[in-house]
Structure 1
């Protein structure tokens, strides 16, 4: 008569997941919890629609005055605009009077005598109105009286957009990581999670999941901007910002991981949601820094050059320099390599802090204490 095999031997104990598998499971949990949130979906949809509407409205407003563009013309070449519809033509005595009319804003452009063989030229402040250029049977030479103004306006617009998108996305998703981390500590859920996955895998999953969401949202913003420019016929602008946008997405993907690690490690130092404000201040300031730098120093080549190689500001500084045409072909590659190395270093420090403080309850854990050798805590 055989002895029945004990139940403990009959069952095969489940094997714990590997660290990589555990990190992926945590990342999946982070992504699904966000995607199922109505507030996240609604805010993302509103953001994308708002970007498209803003591009369309700006294109419409910029073309509203082309139906009746005010133009000055020197009397000696007035015949070049004779019988042309859609232009409010004002005759002036000479080139000096035409230039004064353009600079004062009384007219959008002026047609003046020019070199042969065309015999006419166009004066404009920062760009030649399409209505004037289309009215002439030949395309004359265009002389811009204040070309720096156009460059400055476009420079500010693009740099502002890069800085704002990076700041809002990084702060938004970084704060989500921090809030989830502190909530899990406060409710003791983290103890259950750490019984199933290692602390470093938990941290990696949080960073991976939220980084994927942030990158997807940023890529959607870029795609919607491209669609808006194509729909409104602003292909010339698209050729200027296309490559910088692609680099921006790449730099953002790495730069956000760096900031996400800082947000998570900082949040692990406290046990209550009410205490997160103080510990997150350094991370928030690092996130806001590139925005303020490009807004206030967008015309300072030295500041932009330094920004493009500093890890915390490179995701904004380098794409801006690429848009302005100030960066050599090798500079974004070097800047990206520096950013990757810095990100790996920050992740190593953040993982040490997170592992040593995520189970510490009560008062705030100091940074030095969290980085110290493992003790009995």
Structure 2
């Protein structure tokens, strides 16, 4: 059996085990629900345009230009009030003009009739403020939570095999690198599949909610770029998580052994969230491998990155992923068969040849 065939065998085993895991299934369904709910619920809560009865044809024509209102033109003011009493409309506009409502003041109608001064912005923001917050947060959170949870699962799986001595049987049957490659490939495929499904369901939710085409044109490319950045970023960290799992001799050791890696995942997440409005800081973060999977897609969404920048950032991330893969593989190989307590990084690095 070649190394590639052995890696495929290990990956298939990992996939079968994971797809039967109730926790994985529940988390996937939960994230899909959140993706749909976050796009559909705002439209459902909004309830559509406000229905208004108007007798004045000129005023009705002006209101019809506003998508927030469904205007019902009536014969006179009495008919407008009667439509309100019959609950055919939510507000009526009579001579004055005066807004008539049943119980609560219709603030949107009042605002539409208010005379406001003309406004001119020197630096108009092309992105809706809510979208400018929620889209970057969603991408940063998804990468953080997925890389953290899946990575921790890789570490726990490796430690469990080591603690139960199953790894000794596995290593006798397949090369160590094939064992590592199969685990990383399977978890990367599952993580990517989960993220791709979330992106698909979010897009479906936007269609159901009839989200404005301009919003879709902003979110779509950002998600498109997020997927390749996510894959490379996840692969970069996955092998390190496997190495952390190999360093630990027991499940209780994982927390201590993985602390540096946990910080490496958490710090870029919080840095990007807190520095989103700092263009200079975000430019730097979009080329740092640990933060690039989050920072560059956000800069693309905000329209702050030139067309060539994501390609350069992706290339640098690919190089960093290759380096991290080599480091993680060496640590994994050097500590996998060491069962006498927790292995130090230095000891694992020196003893690579022991299981190579």
TM-score between the two structures when normalised by the length of structure 1:
0.76
* CA pair 29-154 structure 1, distance change in 2 beyond 3 A: same
Does the alignment pair 1:47 with 2:24?
Answer: no
**Cα deviation per residue 1:199-250 (whole Å; 9 max; x = unaligned)?**
1111111111100000000000000000000111113321111111011011
Distance 2:63 2:235 in 1: 62
Shift of 1:147: 5.8
Deviation of the 1:19 alpha carbon: 0.8
Pair 1:64 & 2:42 matched: no
Is the 1:160–1:291 contact (alpha carbons within 8 Å) kept by the matching residues of 2?
no
Of 201-210 and 362-371, more deviation after overlay is shown by: 362-371
Counterpart in the other structure of 1:32: 16
Q: Distance in 1 between matches of 2:121 and 2:208?
A: 28
User: Paired residue for 2:244?
Assistant: 266
Matched, 1:248 2:232: no
**Alignment map for 1:57-136 (pairs within 5 Å):** 57-61=41-45, 63-64=46-47, 66-67=49-50, 81=62, 84-85=71-72, 107-109=110-112, 112=115
Please say if residues 156 and 295 of structure 1, whose CA atoms lie closer than 8 Å, have aligned partners that are also in contact.
no
Q: Distance in 2 between matches of 1:279 and 1:45?
A: 31
Alpha-carbon spacing, 1:88–1:149, altered in 2? closer, same or farther (3 Å): farther
Aligned to 2:149: 172
Q: Which of 130, 138, 156 is residue 161 of structure 1 equivalent to?
A: 138
| Alpha-carbon distance, 1:55 to partner | 1.6
Aligned to 1:348: 326
Question: What RMSD in Å do the two structures reach over aligned CA positions?
Answer: 3.3
Query: What is residue 55 of structure 2 aligned with on the other side?
Result: none
1:63-83 deviation digits (Å, cap 9, x = unpaired): 3373158xxxxxxx9686589
Q: What SS is found at the alignment partner of 2:49?
A: helix
1:215 paired with 2:192, answer: yes
Between the two proteins, the alignment pairs up a number of residues equal to 320
Conserved in 1, the CA contact under 8 Å of 2:330 and 2:352?
Answer: no
Q: SS of the residue aligned with 1:326?
A: coil
In structure 2, relative to structure 1, the CA distance for the partners of 1:82 and 1:305 (3 Å cut) is closer
Distance 2:240 2:353 in 1: 23
Q: Which runs of 5+ in 1 are unaligned?
A: 1-16, 70-76, 94-103, 113-121, 125-141
Between 145-154 and 27-36, the greater mean CA deviation after superposition: 145-154
Aligned equivalents of 1:322, 1:231: Cα separation in 2: 25
User: TM-score, normalised on structure 2?
Assistant: 0.80
Larger Rg: 1
After superposition, the Cα gap between the structure-2 partners of 1:299 and 1:197, relative to the gap in structure 1 and judged at 3 Å, is same
Moved more, 152-161 or 327-336: 152-161
- Which whole-Å deviations, capped at 9, do the CAs of 1:161-207 have from their partners, x for residues lacking one? 10111111111211110110000000000000000111111111111
SS in 1 for 2:159: helix
What is aligned with 1:292?
A: 270
Tell me the SS of whatever aligns to 1:360. Answer: coil
Counterpart selection for 2:6 from 9, 14, 22: 22
- Of the structure 1 ranges 36-45 and 357-366, higher mean CA displacement relative to structure 2 is found in 36-45
Find the residue that maps to 2:258 and give its secondary structure: helix
TM-aligned CA deviation for residue 350 of structure 1? 1.0
Q: Quick one: structure 1 residues 304 and 43, their matched pair in 2 at CA, closer, same or farther if it must change by over 3 Å?
A: same
Change (3 A) 1:265 1:228: same
The CA distance in 2 between the partners of 1:327 and 1:146, in whole Å, is 17
Alpha-carbon shift at residue 293 of structure 1 (Å)? 2.1
Instruction: Indicate how the Cα distance of structure 1 residues 242 and 374 shifts in structure 2: closer, same or farther if over 3 A, else same.
Output: closer
In structure 2, the CA distance between the partners of 1:106 and 1:355, relative to structure 1 (3 Å rule), is same
Structure 2 Cα separation of the partners of residues 293 and 89 of structure 1: 51
